[in-house]
Structure 1
Amino acid sequence: MIIKPLTTNVIISLVAHLYTSSGLLCSVMIFNSILSDNIRTAIIWMMISILIDLTDGTLARSVNVTRYTPFIDGVKMDYLVDFINVTFLPLILIYKAGWIPNESIIFISVPLIASLFNYCLVKKKAHSAGFFQGFPAFYSILCLYLYILDGAFSRYLIVVLLHVVAIAELLPIMFLRARGAYKYSKVVNVGGTLWLIFLLAIFYTMPKYSYTLVMVSLIYPLLYVILSIIAYHDYKNNFKVTQGIQ
């Protein structure tokens, strides 16, 4: 391992990595909130961790971390933090909040294992093209919906939903990366940000929120899936044309 001298660029790159790692501070706060049965606070910290996740990649690329700190794998760091904040802790919260039956604790291992395999998939080519394989299972967002709609669904139905999402994570289907460079990525990025703000507005106005508004918020995830299918279909067709020309 070759460590570069501590130039200004190296220090800035290290700060960018520290920003990514600050997601673990959110992890500690989420864990503490779960232990204290403070569901609302746990979800707030989950949303903060999502904000960090949405911005750390842009920061890392802007300061060129791969050039100035090549001895640190920022992608691996991001995946580790994401697994904790997006999968592990949200699933623990889903159980601890009583959204699934007590006897169903063993079943949260299924989405945990599915997410682990999803994070470990070899998908560099698709990743560089602006896609990733498997449904993006943001269990932290699911926690937000379950909190807002507390009691609206059967606990056993939620168990089924968790398993459906787990299976979707392993499907050989490509989805757009919000921070990718492919067509529609900007739409996904801006739309996702507005969607999250919309959900947080509903969250902070509880219990005065409108059930209709919650249903309206589901339009974006549906639009995201449709755009991903269209974009990847276009990408495959363009790739075939390029290969044919060569």
Structure 2
Amino acid sequence: MSDSVTSFDKWRAFGVHLLTASGAFLAFMALIAAAEQRWVAMFVWLGAALFIDGIDGPIARKIDIKRVLPNWSGDLLDSIIDYATFCMIPAVALYLSDKIGEPWSFVAAALIVISSAVYYADLRMKTKDNFFRGFPVCWNMVVFVLFATELTGWTVFAVVVVCSAATFAPVNFVHPVRVRRLRPLTMSVVALWSILGVISLYYNFASPTWVKAGLIATSLYLFMIGGVVQALVSARLASRRRGKA
């Protein structure tokens, strides 16, 4: 690519920032739906925001947006919107749905928003091979599964506590797109999770048992595969060191 930056390059790059920023409006619509307890609509808006979050990064890297518009931080813009769509709105939904009950629903929401805020401030959020270090606060997906599987009470609270604690654990979590190891399998699991999610929304969360079981199984894979790969790599390295000793 030439070192010169044309006006077209700048407007095209700014258009990508506007695409990212549109996630803020989707977050606003999701928040309204949550306030009205229209859960299906809320998750549809959050799903649209997740789709934009998935495509804007590759587009930005393709056009070298940091070089074209060095004074605009796409990473910061992305983090602001992600905090709303990944953390704040799911916490609001969990609180308003009363799946846990007072006062523990308030405690669960506090755990989500506080642990997530600290996580976004951690400069070690990602490893060199693009894994997330600690649970990547994707509460939109977690809370969706809690709604779709119709879990309630202490089970929901336990899931929130485990995920909040995992935020600060030295355990890797997979980035489905950017992690190369097992990428075809992981992307296939993400696709299956998405299909099951759409079916669950179609049934207004009163979906068949096989849909709920599939969501739990695919979610467990996405939750655990990073740690499994990390453990296997660590064991392999330890074995090599013992062999050289």
Which residue in 1 is equivalent to 2:129?
129
| Identical-pair percentage | 17
* Equivalences for residues 5-44 of structure 1 within 5 A: 7-44=7-44
Structure 2 gap segments, 5+ residues each: 241-245
Q: 1:222: Cα distance to partner? A: 2.6
Q: 1:226: Cα distance to partner? A: 4.5
1:170 is paired with a residue of what secondary structure?
coil
Matched, 1:60 2:24: no
Matched, 1:194 2:192: yes
Q: 1:83: Cα distance to partner? A: 0.8
Q: Structure 1, residues 12-59: CA drift from partner, whole Å, max 9, x if none?
A: 111111111111011110111122222221121111111111212112
Distance change >3 Å, CA 81–CA 235, structure 1 → 2: farther
Distance change >3 Å, CA 223–CA 157, structure 1 → 2: closer
1:188 is paired with a residue of what secondary structure?
helix
Which residue in 1 is equivalent to 2:119?
118
1:85 is paired with a residue of what secondary structure?
helix
Q: How many residue pairs get matched?
A: 235
TM-score normalized by the length of structure 2: 0.84
Distance change >3 Å, CA 105–CA 179, structure 1 → 2: same
Check conservation: 1:184, 1:231, Cα contact below 8 A.
no
Q: 1:179: Cα distance to partner? A: 2.5
Q: Which moved more, 1:57-66 or 1:21-30?
A: 57-66
Structure 1 gap segments, 5+ residues each: 242-246
Q: Which moved more, 1:140-149 or 1:169-178?
A: 140-149
Measured in 2, the distance between the counterparts of 1:162 and 1:97 equals: 15
Q: Which moved more, 1:36-45 or 1:204-213?
A: 204-213
Check conservation: 2:98, 2:105, Cα contact below 8 A.
no
Check conservation: 1:43, 1:143, Cα contact below 8 A.
no
Q: Structure 1, residues 81-139: CA drift from partner, whole Å, max 9, x if none?
A: 1111111111111111121213234312122111111111122661x421111113322
2:207 pairs, out of 189, 206, 209, with: 209
Check conservation: 1:101, 1:156, Cα contact below 8 A.
no
TM-score normalized by the length of structure 1: 0.84
1:179 is paired with a residue of what secondary structure?
coil
2:103 is paired with a residue of what secondary structure?
helix
Distance change >3 Å, CA 235–CA 57, structure 1 → 2: farther
RMSD value, Cα = 2.6
Distance change >3 Å, CA 29–CA 209, structure 1 → 2: same
Distance change >3 Å, CA 208–CA 34, structure 1 → 2: closer
Which residue in 2 is equivalent to 1:180?
178
Measured in 1, the distance between the counterparts of 2:199 and 2:175 equals: 25
Matched, 1:171 2:143: no
